[in-house]
């Protein structure tokens, strides 16, 4: 592991680091507020509950979380959890991701995702998936994929938001079904 991922990384006015369990209430508040601002209060509560579920039902070994802070203030967070395929291959799923509204558009989210991806790569993870805005996630190396290439755990309501990237080379399709962690295992999130 190199210096960028085994300790804090200082950016111009914020610090990137691994998530620590002691700030779970701050993480939930960050996601609730960010999604309430952009998608409405109901969606904010839904995503806040999702984050709470992920933080409490996913083991420390499986949950990979990263945060951006300005001083002690949490300004962005991202969670990665395993996505297991029928053939035994395991990738990681980036979901969810949030940057406080007033901090968006400044590269914080992209820097945080790249920080997390570098950590995963150093841990031997080869594939990472997400389900979101292709315009945003393409900036950090994700590309659109189909369910014929990589089956999602549930039917996708927004198929063009199914995205993946290889951390070691070209994307190679994987046959068979996939499964995610308990917190994300609901058709409502897909």
pLDDT in tens, 24-60: 999 999 999 999 999 999 999 999 999 999 999 999 9
Q: Are 132 and 113 in contact (CB under 8 A)?
A: no
Residue-wise burial string across 59-71, b where 16 or more C-beta atoms lie within 10 A, e elsewhere? eeeebbbbbbbee
3-state secondary structure of 149: coil
Domain count within the chain? 1
CATH number of the domain where residue 113 is located: 3.40.630.30
pLDDT in tens, 81-94: 999 999 999 999 99
Which structural domain range is residue 81 located in?
3-189
pLDDT in tens, 119-176: 999 999 999 999 999 999 999 999 999 999 999 999 999 999 999 999 999 999 999 9
Spatial distance between the Cα atoms of 32 and 17, rounded to a whole number of angstroms:
21
3-state secondary structure of 182: helix
- Cβ count within 10 A of residue 141: 15
Residue 6's pLDDT band, with cuts at 50, 70 and 90, is: very low
Phi-psi region of 141 (alpha: psi -120 to 50; beta: other; left: phi over 0): left
């Amino acid at each position: 592991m190199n210096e960028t991922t085994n300790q804090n990384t200082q950016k111009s006015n914020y610090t990137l680091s691994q998530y620590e369990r002691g700030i779970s209430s701050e993480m939930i508040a960050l996601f609730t507020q960010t999604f309430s601002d952009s998608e409405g209060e109901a969606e904010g509560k839904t995503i806040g509950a999702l984050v709470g579920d992920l933080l409490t039902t996913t083991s420390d070994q499986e949950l990979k979380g990263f945060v951006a802070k300005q001083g002690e203030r949490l300004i962005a967070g991202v969670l990665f959890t395993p996505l297991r395929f029928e053939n035994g291959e395991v990738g990681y799923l980036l979901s969810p991701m949030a940057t406080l509204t007033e901090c968006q558009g400044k590269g914080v989210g992209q820097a945080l995702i790249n920080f997390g991806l570098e950590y995963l790569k150093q841990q031997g993870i080869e594939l990472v998936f997400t389900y979101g805005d292709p315009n945003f996630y393409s900036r950090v190396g994700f590309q659109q994929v189909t369910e014929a290439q990589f089956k999602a755990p549930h039917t996708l309501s927004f198929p063009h938001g199914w995205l993946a990237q290889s951390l070691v080379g070209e994307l190679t399709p994987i046959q068979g079904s996939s499964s995610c962690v308990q917190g994300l295992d609901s058709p409502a999130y897909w």
